[in-house]
Structure 1
Amino acid sequence: MAAMEWFTAPDYWISRLVFQRALAAVYLVAFLGAALQFRALLGERGMLPVPRFVARVPFRRAPSVFHWHYSDRFFALWAWTGVAVSAALLAGLDSLLPLWGGMLLWLLPWLLYLSVMNVGQTWYSFGWESLLLEVGFLAVFLGNDEVAPPVVVLFLLRWLLFRVEFGAGLIKMRGDACWRKLTCLDHHHETQPMPGPLSRFFHHLPKPLHRVEAAANHVTQLAVPFLLFTPQPIATAAAALMVVTQLWLVLSGNFAWLNWLTVVLALSAVDYGGTAPADVPATAPLWYEAVVLAVAALLLALSYRPVRNMLSRRQVMNRSFDPLHLVNTYGAFGSVSRVRYEVVVEGTADDVPREDGDWREYEFKGKPGDVRRRPRQYAPYHLRLDWLMWFAALSPGYAGAWFGALVERLLEGDRDTLRLLRHSPFPPDAPPRHVRARLFRYRFTTRRERRETGAYWERTYVREFLPPTRLTGSS
């Protein structure tokens, strides 16, 4: 990296600008999802209420402002503040402030989201939550228009991107044998958590192309990351290849903001050919250098645990090693399901629930339900309930903490819960008398079946997931 002095890299002026604005957009989506979904998931009458969580989990294990005070109105204010701050960063407000002010402005969404995630429980147990916090913490120290981006922070961003990709590649090779045989993608496009509009197309690609997909994935995750630490333009080419791979994943499914955040990280490694304006000082303030170097030393020391995890034969995915989520380990799909199961939730107004009664199906926004409905694109927006329903279909154990509460809210006609759904067959003022859940096997229809039936899915009943249930004390 060329530089005015050893500490800064003026050639990456545009790289920082692109990275910061893109990260602000991801923050915006994350806070918007929190603001719109929290009441039913985490609110005072939510499925996993925050007050109940903070009563049993100490602050030191899950630092959050909500340990000191919680109300639904306060959480809403907190989340919408995150939306506003993210929008301000997206508009470039940090560049209009002094260096210390810009750093504080970037610190604010990190603190806001940390408080949300640390009380989010199962709803916030995904790897991209920690990834957003880790990336967001590094963004605090990238500086603004008063100084060229620090070399050490740019290195840490590449180090994080390396761990994201290389860790994901290792977990695949150590996990399911189908990754080593290059056959996982014969199933993955169909069985992934939330298929997108093109997932059925990808699933029906010829099997030799699935082998090419899997092999390309291994190259991108196990070999290309090392090129991030080579001179330009090789590092830019490596980052560009990662961007292309992530956009392929965006087209083939819905993975919230995981792919987009990985793209944001890769963009920070691209050399766009610009340089810092002539009026930018050649040296950074001494206090800034001291802070950045101290933080870098801390993060490199904390990297010991994720590196040890990557090298271990017992590698785990998506693990945070400290309550601030400063340095984490990542990975996805160490195993791939061969069969897709879906939990279908139904209600009836009948006083006596009969197998052949008038059962009406609840429709979710993202997860498959109606076989004639084409999958939608929602990423980078995260439909948390829909994702957890996929895990519930894998095993009832994943649903133990919240599924009963979901059924109870449906029986009550809870408006906040119904807003999480695409369609409820019962209005809030006339909820069902009984709710049940059944497990179905889903598969994509063939091209011929699609032409004949108009359906995107074919489903087969497997077993009862939850017997007909009603509210306690109802007659």
Structure 2
Amino acid sequence: MTMPPCTKRGPYKNGLSRSVCLMGLSVCFPGLYGNDGLLPARWQLRYSGKALWEQLLSSPTLLWLAPRLGLDTQTAMELLCLLGAALSLAATVLESLRDSLVFLFLWIMYLSMYQVGQVFLYFQWDSLLLETGFLCVLIAPVTSLRGWRAGREHDPVTFWLVRWLLFRLMFASGIVKLTSRCPTWWGLTALTYHYETQCIPTPLAWFAHQLPVWWHKLSVVATFAIEIAAPFLFLSPLRRLRLGAFYMQVVLQVLIILSGNYNFFNLLTLTMCLSLLDDEHIYFWLRKKYTPNPNQGTHTLAHTLLEIAVWALIGFGTVTWFDLQINWDKWTVSSRTVFTFHQFNQFLKTVTFPSVWLGVLSLTWELVSSMFRCACVEGFFKRFLGTVQWTVFGAAAVSMFAISLVPFTFIEYDSNASVWPGVRQGYDAVSRYQLVNSYGLFRRMTGVGGRPEVVIEGSMDKVTWTEIEFMYKPGNLSAPPSVITPHQPRLDWQMWFAALGTHTHSPWFTSLMYRLLQGKTDVIELIQSDVSQYPFHQQPPTYLRAHRYKYWFTKTLADGSYPQRWWKRVYIEEFYPTVYLGDTFLESMLSQHGLKVWCIWKVFRPLYFSTFCYCSYSGPCSERMPPNRLFTDSSRVLFQVNPTGCVDIFVEQAFQCHDGVSRLLQTQLSLFLESVVRMEPGVFMFQTCSQMPLKWQQRYDNQHILQHAIRLSSVLKSSSTLCAVRLRMHMGLTSLFQMSVVKLIASGSWVCFNNTV
């Protein structure tokens, strides 16, 4: 069985999913990760003086290269977003760009952003996109090597990995619903809450919510059958079983798309479902004549009987385990869970490890079949090249399958404990690259008893309050639910998670309040892309607060007509107290969550000319030096007080080289910038360039901290070159005392002291 049509459409759909994701991320990026965003990406890149390769190993992201290219983190990340979106879209349109190297570059770019994305990029579909993206590297041809592209008898082997990933995704998503002991899943009532409590419902969700309870319970039973039983058919050698499983998954994913906005996740899942198809079915869709492979086996009566037996077993098990009974008088179907948690646990122990061996047998079959096809290729060179490719990609497939067993068996403790230690070590070694991941969607049903929603209100006088409406999440009772698939408004999604707990569980929310008080346009555009629709677009609010409400869908009226509003709500409690710029509570929250950064601007003598220059807050010097100057050098040093009482000084360098500057001089400056390092906690370290080799390193205790602060101040007064300092404050020191020490140190060579985020 050959797979060319499928292997072409797999990367095509993945490129489309990646393009949609990156374009959506590029829209949200300035407000989320910009310098004035909620969680600036530059905070995740701590330049510790390590070599580049060490930085890449610790946190694999291309953003480490930004300073070497003369870019700041924000500009570099925006460039990656736009370049990735453009390249993904081009690969979607142009078949010649559906190349293994192109997909490798796309995977590296998305991994680079994932490393600094923090909570806004830590969704399961982001991990899924990374895993499928790496599989595309193995599946897509290397178009630049014609001979390498010709012999691809290994395609079914690499394409099988997509089937295995789909199996892990769906099977785990079904299993975790029951292992979580969520009463709504066990009581089959989850969908009576789901449509109104999901993050961003669609208008059709309102109508689905009005369906009778028996239908919702039957839908839950169907979900369990599709997610737990049907995935085993993915690995079946019988094509009709795979086709049946394919259409079951398509129905489920389409219904999810119609009732909820789950961004590119469902599109990506449908892409993986293509791995269940063969050439014959693809040609049937395209209405093209299909020429069977002479080596392909014929469908016999035994195959048909076996397929009927499998479908009968799934149907019988579903009816038995959920006690399905038809009431012909009322035309309803009753259902209930008749097995216990202990019985389900025994079932899970019974099927988890055998499912691994089922995967082993299925992969072995694909490997042997591919090897046989390689041996049948005419011509020594083609046969040799095909064998080499089979060896390389077969080894890659076996390795990917092996390390995937670790996250897959997380669903059952005994199976996970029996995984070979060598496999576990391999998984640990590559876990930072997100090659394989564990999954489990909709583990517990949230919002039982009403969906919690956080509503932010602003005021100029603390008397008249105005609600701040988001574009997509529920707020206005009369506004219909949005349809935004495949875009993901990541702030709206996190607002849904924030409403499930306290504001301390969502530190970014404090940053959101602070940015809105500052009137930062990039953050406002996350709430309303048309800033004129934002109620405080002319002047930032003086006060902000947030309340928690419970929302419900309205119901159809007694006469069958529709109500005027989509939602109804009830006030529950205060979510975030009233705050304003300079408010002590806001300041303490910013410091507690590590969002408070103290800035001190230094006036220093540049290395290669004698004129003093000042640093501007925006980064490089605000004015380019005259052409007769060789270059300018600006540095920005940030003091950050984190929750453990540690005061860090981050040094960021930016310089502009003019024409005529020798490469040697530029290299010397780069080496100087790299020499600015920070030591371990509790250590002062100074390192300077040029003719003043000042190195001083000593640990301090509480009794001598002021003495050394005075000494440090005097050292800085006498130094005309740049120093990097790291000072660990002790837990027993008050914040006031800590800042007094910082100011004392700063008095040696700093002319201005203020704070910002």
What is the distance in 2 between the residues matched to 1:398 and 1:37? 23
- Does residue 201 (structure 1) correspond to residue 207 (structure 2)? The answer is yes
1:35 counterpart (9, 26, 33): 26
Kindly name which structure, 1 or 2, has the bigger radius of gyration based on alpha carbons: 2
Q: C-alpha root-mean-square deviation of aligned residues, in Å?
A: 2.7
1:347 counterpart (436, 458, 465): 458
Aligned match of 1:460: 570
Match runs of 1:63-212 below 5 Å? 63-69=60-66, 70-94=72-96, 102-144=99-141, 146=150, 147=152, 150-175=155-180, 176-212=182-218
Which ranges in structure 2 are unaligned for 5 or more consecutive residues? 49-54, 67-71, 142-148, 284-289, 294-373, 378-382, 417-426, 585-757
SS at match of 1:462: strand
Q: Which moved more, 1:64-73 or 1:244-253?
A: 64-73
**Deviation at 1:164?**
0.3
Q: Which amino acid aligns with 1:266?
A: C
Aligned match of 2:501: 395
Say if 1:463 and 1:65 are closer, same or farther in 2 by CA, change over 3 A.
same
**Deviation at 1:75?**
1.3
Aligned match of 1:238: 245
**Deviation at 1:424?**
1.4
Tell whether the 8 Å contact from 1:438 to 1:464 is kept in structure 2 after alignment: yes
What is the distance in 1 between the residues matched to 2:408 and 2:541? 52
Say if 1:397 and 1:362 are closer, same or farther in 2 by CA, change over 3 A.
closer
Tell whether the 8 Å contact from 1:154 to 1:269 is kept in structure 2 after alignment: no
Q: Which moved more, 1:236-245 or 1:433-442?
A: 236-245
Tell whether the 8 Å contact from 1:142 to 1:149 is kept in structure 2 after alignment: no
- Does residue 253 (structure 1) correspond to residue 260 (structure 2)? The answer is yes
What is the distance in 2 between the residues matched to 1:312 and 1:174? 12
Per-residue CA shift, 1:252-303, capped at 9, x if unaligned? 111122222111100122124147999xx95664553333123212212211
Tell whether the 8 Å contact from 1:21 to 1:92 is kept in structure 2 after alignment: no
Tell whether the 8 Å contact from 2:84 to 2:106 is kept in structure 1 after alignment: yes
Tell whether the 8 Å contact from 1:35 to 1:79 is kept in structure 2 after alignment: yes
Aligned match of 1:434: 543
Per-residue CA shift, 1:280-336, capped at 9, x if unaligned? x95664553333123212212211211320223899xxx998111111110112111
Tell whether the 8 Å contact from 1:43 to 1:49 is kept in structure 2 after alignment: yes
**Deviation at 1:50?**
1.3
What is the distance in 1 between the residues matched to 2:279 and 2:575? 54
**Deviation at 1:197?**
1.7
1:271 counterpart (251, 274, 278): 278
Tell whether the 8 Å contact from 1:43 to 1:72 is kept in structure 2 after alignment: yes
Per-residue CA shift, 1:194-239, capped at 9, x if unaligned? 1112111111111111011101100000000000111212212211
Tell whether the 8 Å contact from 1:130 to 1:325 is kept in structure 2 after alignment: yes
Say if 1:287 and 1:205 are closer, same or farther in 2 by CA, change over 3 A.
same
Per-residue CA shift, 1:374-432, capped at 9, x if unaligned? 001112211100010001100025653201110111111111111111341111x4111
**Deviation at 1:166?**
0.2
- Does residue 447 (structure 1) correspond to residue 444 (structure 2)? The answer is no
- Does residue 295 (structure 1) correspond to residue 396 (structure 2)? The answer is yes
- Does residue 332 (structure 1) correspond to residue 334 (structure 2)? The answer is no
2:229 counterpart (223, 227, 230): 223
Say if 1:403 and 1:332 are closer, same or farther in 2 by CA, change over 3 A.
same
SS at match of 1:395: coil
Say if 1:106 and 1:466 are closer, same or farther in 2 by CA, change over 3 A.
same
SS at match of 1:193: coil
- Does residue 472 (structure 1) correspond to residue 582 (structure 2)? The answer is yes
Say if 1:396 and 1:62 are closer, same or farther in 2 by CA, change over 3 A.
farther
Number of residue pairs the alignment of both structures matches: 450
What is the distance in 2 between the residues matched to 1:129 and 1:46? 21
What is the distance in 2 between the residues matched to 1:95 and 1:13? 16
SS at match of 1:74: helix
Identity of aligned residues (%): 32
Say if 1:381 and 1:398 are closer, same or farther in 2 by CA, change over 3 A.
farther
Say if 1:301 and 1:125 are closer, same or farther in 2 by CA, change over 3 A.
same
SS at match of 1:465: strand
What is the distance in 1 between the residues matched to 2:124 and 2:415? 18
Q: Which moved more, 1:65-74 or 1:131-140?
A: 65-74
Q: Which amino acid aligns with 1:162?
A: F
Per-residue CA shift, 1:87-144, capped at 9, x if unaligned? 1110134368xxxxx2101111111100011110100111000100101111111133
Tell whether the 8 Å contact from 1:13 to 1:148 is kept in structure 2 after alignment: no
Say if 1:68 and 1:396 are closer, same or farther in 2 by CA, change over 3 A.
farther
What is the distance in 1 between the residues matched to 2:524 and 2:163? 42
Aligned match of 1:417: 523
What is the distance in 1 between the residues matched to 2:234 and 2:258? 25
What is the distance in 1 between the residues matched to 2:274 and 2:123? 23
Q: Which amino acid aligns with 2:131?
A: E
Highest relative contact order (Cα 8 Å, sep 6+), 1 or 2? 1
What is the distance in 1 between the residues matched to 2:292 and 2:437? 35
Q: Which amino acid aligns with 1:250?
A: I
Aligned match of 1:23: 14
1:383 counterpart (476, 489, 495): 489
**Deviation at 1:71?**
2.6
Q: Which amino acid aligns with 2:582?
A: T
What is the distance in 2 between the residues matched to 1:447 and 1:61? 56
What is the distance in 2 between the residues matched to 1:56 and 1:174? 43
Q: Which moved more, 1:299-308 or 1:118-127?
A: 299-308
Tell whether the 8 Å contact from 2:6 to 2:279 is kept in structure 1 after alignment: yes
What is the distance in 2 between the residues matched to 1:196 and 1:33? 19
SS at match of 1:402: helix
Tell whether the 8 Å contact from 1:13 to 1:149 is kept in structure 2 after alignment: no
Aligned match of 1:44: 35
Tell whether the 8 Å contact from 1:391 to 1:398 is kept in structure 2 after alignment: no
Q: Which moved more, 1:45-54 or 1:222-231?
A: 45-54
What is the distance in 2 between the residues matched to 1:24 and 1:335? 31
What is the distance in 2 between the residues matched to 1:267 and 1:464? 48
